[in-house]
Amino acid sequence: MMYKPFGMIPALPTPMNEDNSIDYKGLAQLIEHLIDGGMHCLLVGGSTGEYSLMSLEERKEVIKFVCETSNGRVPVMAGTGCHRTQDTVELTQYAAEVGADCALVINPYYMPTSRQGIIDHYKAVAESSSIGIVIYHYPDATGVELDPELIHEISQIEGIVGIKNTADGIHTSKLIALTKDNPNFAVLTGFEHLIVPTLALGGQGAVGVAHNLAPKKIAKLYDLIVNENNLKEATALNQELLELYNAIEEETIPGTVKAGLEVLGLSGGPSRLPLVPASEEFKAKIETVLTKLGEVKLKQQ
């Protein structure tokens, strides 16, 4: 049976060296930090990971590295979306070969196509894959919005196991209602602000960037709602996390997340152009936010 993603899933940034090469030592440390923090799955090669600024070989290397380093301790979701359907098929097959448990595939964009073209794209990828396919719906980035009815139709394709829905709460709630009777399909929000309502409405989890900076608290949020049915305490914890959610969005992601990682003593490094690093003002702010949350270890004197 194919793995269906659930729970709290961090979208991993890709630590970089000063020459913009990939910092694999830093990436290994991040993986340990997230597994120790109780994350349910790791997303490698998503937007936060700067996949669109990598060569195909780099994308393959990073996917393989995360699969090998996590070594079955948590599932791995690999970002494999490409403009060309055949390229997506091939990268998804590669991800499966090196140990990924599912693949995140962004919907076709830039080259205009029809509703049927979008359906056929996902069908071709799913039919050629031995691992489940998660739809990546991010209309703010792609300029292409998939309505809930279209996503519901795609969810009926064998091998489609879920969606990262980086869309508003009304869209997500409609989607949960439409797919609630499909046991093989998970609805994951792509917005931290929507974690609580998504889980409360019956969604299966959330993919986010704040997870990298406060994994134990984000994992606790899931447990409070799903396992303990304690919405009151979950709401209080979510209120504590709101300042972090808001801060991360003040400047360009992944620069803000990388700045936060460095506050925690982990590697972030620069982002590749045209992305830019966080400002000095933001670095000071994120340190304050993470200190208030108790995430910053006492610095050695």
Residue 136 pairs in a beta bridge with 106, 164
Given 51, 94, 136, 138, the catalytic residue: 136
Integer Cα distance of 74 and 64 in angstroms = 14
Known catalytic residue: 136? yes
Q: Is 194 exposed, middle or buried (0-12, 13-18, 19+ CB in 10 A)?
A: buried
Helices 255-263 & 231-248 angle (0-180, nearest 10): 110
Is there a catalytic annotation at residue 174?
no
Residue 65's Cβ-count burial label (10 Å; 0-12, 13-18, 19+) is: middle
Q: Strand 186-189 and strand 205-208: pairing?
A: parallel
Q: Choosing from 164, 217, 220, 283, which is the catalytic residue? A: 164
- Distance from C-alpha of 83 to C-alpha of 110, rounded to nearest angstrom: 8
Q: Which of 191, 262, 279 is nearest to 15 (CA)?
A: 262
CA contacts within 13 A on the Cβ side of 204? 22
Catalytic residues: 136, 164
